[in-house]
Structure 1
């Protein structure tokens, strides 16, 4: 004999969590590939991403994942994304993050981390590192998300930071308890951002173009060396 669903069951059916909001935020911005090495607390990021149509490519070392994501960013001009677990996995992922930043490659590193209150109080949590501050010297920008409502915003800001101006590596710190937070699905959908023109064209001043043309016109054997920044700007 079946029974009618309780109010609690109906309410829970309308909830989503940080894992799903993160995946939705990536899909909203057409980031459909993740490289990584999974484990607690980000295993469900990869699982849900696969279920939603994102291709997850698992590697055997976080540096390989970061290098693959950076290569994608270099080739496409949009951020490559890679995923690491906390502490040792995070530390392994810092090397390609630094390389991407130094070389001007757009890439986003997503890393799980321990609960903030345990780290800040020095309570010796499992793999309890202050990863945000560790990552800052290795990245163009670094963010930590403490509320589920801010996940779409941090993804949008990371995309813009990775692509605009001189491209580089961006770090997003994802504490396990933030990923486990819940929110109404309709509210989550209303918070999603799609970044508009993350790398706007930087038009040189007309006087600079005139000077360049005069120099080329007077040159006998001109050599023009164009880097990837010019290629990204088309």
Structure 2
């Protein structure tokens, strides 16, 4: 549904729309159909509008739990889970989950309303006047602020692409109260919306890198395959099983990769991973990071 097709009951405002409706339409243009969160000033009306336009809203009693649900949504669907929070303390509560999503590589977008910029920048003690984007930046993959309704579509597309591209992560999208409440001409607003292409372009390894890895693996005497949550996120279970069984290389699974292959598989070394890692001369990582584990 486009902005032009949305019915109006008040003839005096029939040619006008708010930033909240534009934000709703922008989210729909990138395929967002569900939000998690806890509403209040200044995003309550936006949540109502989003629901009216077909976006499901799942309400929680605390923003952190809502954010964890959004992050889980992102991991399971490979599309950003969206968390909606109010400003200040609600933003901070939700930021815990967004930071967690960033560290754990879950695609997620936290959208928070925020106060007017001028009194925040001048530290004049405005209502819930946190400088939210600057607080979020060190903890998330990317942080953007939208000040004008004309820029809403651009902000949503940038947030979506950042959340899903490369190594997925949490993105913070700050939408100011003046932007949410701004009024635009209906046709001018419609002109700012578009359907983006290639929100998550495929990243293909070079043939030389693949050939070098296969040569190294083929020459190994005691190889081991380590499966991480990236392998589960990719949802290529059948390909992994075929590769393991065709090569005969033993494997073990990190906790978030459990279920890719059964623990009782004849090539599983989950119960002896320390021994096998100590003895291995080549370790093939599939969707895993070299971390403390």
TM-score normalised by structure 1 residue count: 0.91
Q: Is the 8 A contact 1:33 1:55 kept in 2?
A: yes
CA RMSD of aligned residues (A): 1.7
What do the CA deviations read for 1:126-160 (whole angstroms, capped 9, x no partner)?
11111111111111111111111001110000001
> Is the counterpart of residue 159 in structure 1 residue 160 in structure 2?
yes
- TM alignment of 1:70-109, pairs within 5 A: 70-109=71-110
2:243 — aligned with what? none
Deviation at 1:49, TM superposition (A): 0.8
SS at match of 1:224: strand
Distance, in Å, in 1 between the alignment partners of 2:79 and 2:194 is 16
Does structure 2 retain, via aligned residues, the 8 Å contact 1:103–1:168? Answer: yes
Structure 2 CA distance for aligned equivalents of residues 94 and 167 of structure 1: 16
Q: TM-score of the superposition, structure 2-length normalised?
A: 0.73
Q: Please say if residues 79 and 108 of structure 1, whose CA atoms lie closer than 8 Å, have aligned partners that are also in contact.
A: yes
Which residue number in structure 1 is paired with residue 251 of structure 2?
none
- Between the two structures, name the one with larger relative contact order (CA 8 Å, sep ≥ 6): 1
Aligned partner of 1:22 in structure 2 is 23
Could you list the per-position Cα deviations for residues 14-49 of structure 1 after superposition, in whole angstroms to 9, with x for gaps in the alignment? Answer: 111010000000111110000000000000111011
Where does 1:138-149 land on structure 2 (aligned, <5 Å)?
A: 138-149=139-150
Alignment correspondent of 1:42: 43
Q: Unaligned regions of 5+ residues in structure 2, if any?
A: 1-9, 237-293
SS class of match (1:48): helix
Deviation (angstroms), 1:223: 2.9
Is the contact made by 1:159 and 1:195 (CA closer than 8 Å) also made in structure 2?
no
Cα offset, 1:79, TM superposition: 0.5
Partner of 1:56: 57
Shift of 1:221: 4.9
Question: Unpaired runs of 5+ in structure 1?
Answer: 1-8
Do structure 1's residue 193 and structure 2's residue 194 form an aligned pair? yes
Asked if the contact 1:201/1:233 (under 8 Å) is kept, the reply is no
Q: What is the number of residues matched between the two proteins?
A: 226
Residue matched to 1:232: 234
What displacement does 1:208 show? 1.3
Offset of residue 117 of structure 1 = 1.2
User: 2-side partners of 1:209 and 1:173: how far apart?
Assistant: 40
How far off is 1:222 after superposition? 3.6
Cα distance change of structure 1 residues 224 and 193 upon mapping to structure 2, 3 Å threshold: farther
Contact 1:79–1:159 at 8 Å: present in 2 too? yes
CA displacement 1:64-91 (0-9 Å, x = unmatched): 1111000011111110001000111011
Shift of 1:111: 0.3
Query: Which structure's CA Rg is the greater one?
Result: 2
Aligned partner of 1:170 in structure 2 is 171
Moved more, 164-173 or 10-19: 10-19
**C-alpha distance in 2 between matches for 1:67 and 1:17:** 30
Q: State the alpha-carbon separation in 2 of the partners of residues 161 and 79 from structure 1.
A: 10
Out of 218-227 and 129-138, give the one that drifted further.
218-227
What do the CA deviations read for 1:64-123 (whole angstroms, capped 9, x no partner)? Answer: 111100001111111000100011101101101111111111100000111111211222
**C-alpha separation in 2, matches of 1:233 and 1:11:** 51
Question: What SS class does the counterpart of residue 225 from structure 2 fall into?
Answer: coil
